[in-house]
Chain A
Amino acid sequence: MIDSQATESLAEASQRSASHASLSKRMLTNPTGLVAIVLLALVVLSAVFAPLLTSHDPNTASLHDVLDPISGAHPLGADSSGRDELARLLFGSRFSLAGAALALAISAVIGVTGGLIAGYYGKWFDSLSQWLTGLLMALPGIVVLLAASSVLGPSMWMSMAIFGVIMSPAFFRLVYASVTAVRSELYVDAARVSGLGDSRIIARHILTVVRAPAIIQGAMVMGIAIAIQAGLEFLGLGDMTIPTWGSMLNDGFVSMYRAPLLLLWPSAMIGITCVCLTLFANAMRDELERSSTKPSRRRRRAASRAAAFEHEPVERHDDDERSREITGEELLRVTDLAVGYDKPDGSVSTVVSDVSLTVQRGEVHGLVGESGSGKTQTAWSILRLLPDGGRVTNGSIVFEGEDLAGVSEKAMQRIRGKKIAYIPQEPMSNLDASFTIGSQLVEPMRVSLGLSKKEATERALALLARVGIPEPKRTFAAYPHEVSGGMAQRVLIAGAVSCDPDLLIADEPTTALDVTVQAEVLDLLRGLQAEMNMGMILVTHNFGVVADICDRVSVMRNGRIVETGPVRAIFRQPRHEYTKALLGAILDEGPARGPLASGVTSQTTDAAAASPAAGNVSEGALK
């Protein structure tokens, strides 16, 4: 488990750095990002090539051109000293940008180095720098700059340098957080094991992780620095010997009513630059968000594979006597379901297609496959709770005779919980850490069932007791982080059945749990299902679990069902290569699964001890 997790992390890391490589490309295809980059480039280029763009000297005053309007000689007019406004604007860009860049460089150097050292090596440097960060952030910047300028005189460079120091916590915090997060991640350990030195670990992993957020932060800092520069000039603390946007603004203020355009040019320049910097940062963050969200990764992987395995016939097993015993009415019929996600370019990436399955009352239908095979997507699409951008692109989902596609969101809300309930995979993340367990149980019951607070509380306590929680009252009042994972999963099960659903969708309900609790939770589920005569879809990657409680099983791969049929038939005669491989993998995992895979009834005691779930599985398989 650990190994696979470590590999996964490494893969993720390399993918992250790979995504950086393409980030710049994607920034260029993002319309906002492109506009921002182009405009910023124009501003920078006009500053660099200022002497080519104007023949005027930005500092040459002329008594006879004072406040000249726009003319051939002065394309943007002349300021209160008769200096050419265009020349001052262009050369002003040089100083304003350089000043902001100075602030940025200083804050980045201090913040990044400090963050790296504090985050990676910790110790006294950590506490000291945390304290200093707190101190810097506790000071209102402009007041410090006011004081500093009264001490050091009106120097733009000095102010910007000081401002850089003031802003350094922005980088410090970012780097520090990333470094501590990364440090605790396993791939750094793995890298260390593989003999990489500290500096290479930092360079390879941490810096690549931090790079993009740091660029975002940098764009913001730069924008703020430009605004602060202008603010200081506004307060009369500017250096009048050099042309800057701020000094132009100040000059414009003086003649505000006589030559209002003089205010416009520098304001526009400051505005455009700051807007572009912010847009740039936003676009970059959007791109990062897009590349780091899990669904999209899964999506991409699934999509690419789905493309490779299209048009594969489904292996169907006929009902056997056990599956024929289930005579409940049909609850759910999924026909030719396809699920897709909208991509930014307008196309749709399909992650599930041609999925058909039925669930009858009292039946447990297993949905098996490795992660990314589309099981969970199928489950979510039945609840109509697909993540952003996801939707059913084909097929139908008929629940109790009603096609859910035609059901309003309001009606869907009445179906969720009361008719179809859901048990998630990861117990901790599926409870809201900010609310007590009790309130999270009571709230849906009050909404869905219309119970009073008292009734709901009583029912919740009863449910908690039913799912095997020893001290219901205590757990009721506890926050999620105060209970164990197994307890939390029981709470989620209690929550799922709290509104008497007809169909229960359990998405890998035991995967995140200790092996010791897995069996108990499965027992509980099976018990509840039988007791309440629910239909159930059990999503799992574990054939052991399938064997234990499922009546029927569908094997999924790359978003499609490859084989479906009664559980016994599949175990006995897997037809599809993939099913065979999965069953074979169980065999490889240990002796306990061996008998199952081959359908043999022998079992070993030590295997049962090692894996109670597997033990139960064999039992179930023998029923």
Chain B
Amino acid sequence: MIKFIVRRLISGAVLLFLISTISYVLLYLGGGDIARRILGQTATAQTVADKAHVLGLDRPLFVQYSDWLSHALSGNLGESWFTGQPVTIAITSRVAVTLSLVLGATLLTAVISIALGVWAAVRRGWVDRVVQFISVLGFAVPGFLIALGLVIVFALNLRWFKPTGYVNLTDSFPGWLATVTLPVIALAVGGIAGVAQQVRGSVIDALRQDYVRTLRSRGLSQNRVVFKHVLRNAGGPALAVLSLQFVGLLGGAVIVEQIFAIPGLGQVAVTATSQGDIPLVMGLVLATAIIVVIVNLVIDLLQGWLNPKVRLS
């Protein structure tokens, strides 16, 4: 078990290194005249050159990267070129926001899609078709349209929730709920479709397993078998989809945070990549990769718990 975790962490570290190198090179190549971008249209050529020198942008790529890397290894990711904020602070202060959105959405996705999927799989027939249709709709309508629809109806017209912004959970729970509900729903809607389909499929598969009949032949009710045995067995594939979902939601957060003006990683991702704020983008890339590595590790451990056959030793 520990060996397994260590091995995964090492491969994660290699992954981080590769991703960071590739990203840095790409950003450097695509950066264009970053100093000009930072300074905008009014700056003179001399001002731009001064700025480039101050940022060290006039050095060769290799020197810049190794400089960044050595600092990064010591935990210093530099400062944002556009806000002057240390990157580590910029990210740690926002990561909780995005994670609370993404985890909330993942949880919501899991609960609803498992309910829908099981319902559809067990009942089949028209229930199945209705569930399928609803989830297909959720899947097919672009997320930002759903988000905007939610804002207009529930925030602007009904005034149940806040149209923009974010309140920390630790500051005010009702405030947090008022700001976080709509984005979480907007994020989850698209995912529910896919996961519900997956759950439906795995439950149907699991229901076809011989042991279901055998367990029922011993007097267990259909519901009991479904909720105890079938769900646990369908859990593996569903979990796999959920983990992909989680990664997908990290991406989805980009758009949703933008629409709801939520101060999360996604918002920074859009700003930083479009500005070419290399230190911040690098920090983001690392943060995302770390989150993904950890999530995948946790998912694998959960898989082992769900399915004793793949239990890791």
Contact = CB atoms under 8 A, between A and B. Distances in A.
Q: Is there a contact between chains A and B in the complex with CB atoms less than 8 Å apart? A: yes
Interface of A: 32, 131, 134-135, 137-143, 146-148, 150-152, 223, 227, 230-231, 234-235, 249, 267, 270-271, 273-275, 277-279, 282, 285, 289, 293, 380, 383, 385, 387-388, 409, 413-418, 420-422, 424, 426, 429-435, 440, 443-444, 447-448, 479, 481, 492, 495-496, 498-499
B211 A431 contact: yes
Interface string B280-313: 0100110011001100100000000011110000
Nearest to A140: B251
Contacts of A440: 215
B144 A234 contact: yes
Interface string B190-203: 00010001000100
Interface in B178-211: 193, 197, 201, 204, 208-211
Contacts of A151: 26-27, 29-30
Contacts of B248: 140-141
B18 interface: yes
Contact of A231 (B19, B142, B285): B142
Nearest to B201: A285
B292 A432 contact: no
A448 B211 contact: no
Contacts of B250: 140, 143
B219 A424 contact: no
A429 B197 CA distance: 24
A418 B219 contact: yes
B219 A444 contact: yes
8 contacts: A137-B244, A147-B30, A227-B143, A231-B144, A271-B141, A289-B204, A447-B219, A496-B218
Contacts of A147: 23, 26-27, 30, 273, 281, 285
Interface string B113-147: 00000000000100001001000110111111100
B15 A138 contact: yes
A435 B15 CA distance: 35
Contacts of B274: 146, 150
B252 interface: yes
A225 B66 CA distance: 36
A135 B139 contact: no
A416 B218 contact: yes
Contacts of B254: 140, 142-143, 146, 235
A422 B296 CA distance: 41
B30 A152 contact: yes
B-side binding surface: helix, strand, loop or mixed? helix
Contacts of A141: 248, 251
A495 B214 contact: yes
A140 B247 contact: yes
A84 B68 CA distance: 51
Interface residues of B, number: 70
Contacts of A137: 244, 247
B233 A432 contact: yes
Name the 6 nearest CB pairs between A and B, nearest first: A151-B30, A417-B219, A274-B140, A444-B218, A140-B251, A422-B217
Contact of B289 (A138, A275, A414, A426): A138
A413 B224 CA distance: 11
Contacts of B210: 424, 426, 429-430
A331 B215 CA distance: 23
B140 A271 contact: yes
A429 B209 contact: yes
B17 to A, nearest CB: 12
B217 A416 contact: yes
B218 A421 contact: yes
B219 A231 contact: no
A422 B214 contact: yes
Contacts of A285: 201
Contacts of A267: 141-142, 145
Nearest to A246: B142
B263 to A, nearest CB: 17
A277 B140 CA distance: 9
B59 interface: no
A17 B267 CA distance: 49
Nearest to A275: B140
Contact of B284 (A143, A148, A417, A431): A143
Contact of A434 (B27, B136, B141, B233): B233
A189 B204 CA distance: 31
Contacts of A146: 254, 269-270, 273-274
Given A135-B18, A443-B220, A481-B309, A432 B215 contact: yes
Contact of B229 (A32, A131, A274, A435): A435
A387 B204 CA distance: 11
Most buried by A among B30, B124, B140, B222: B140
B36 to A, nearest CB: 15
B233 A498 contact: no
A383 B218 CA distance: 10
A388 B140 CA distance: 30
Nearest to B281: A147
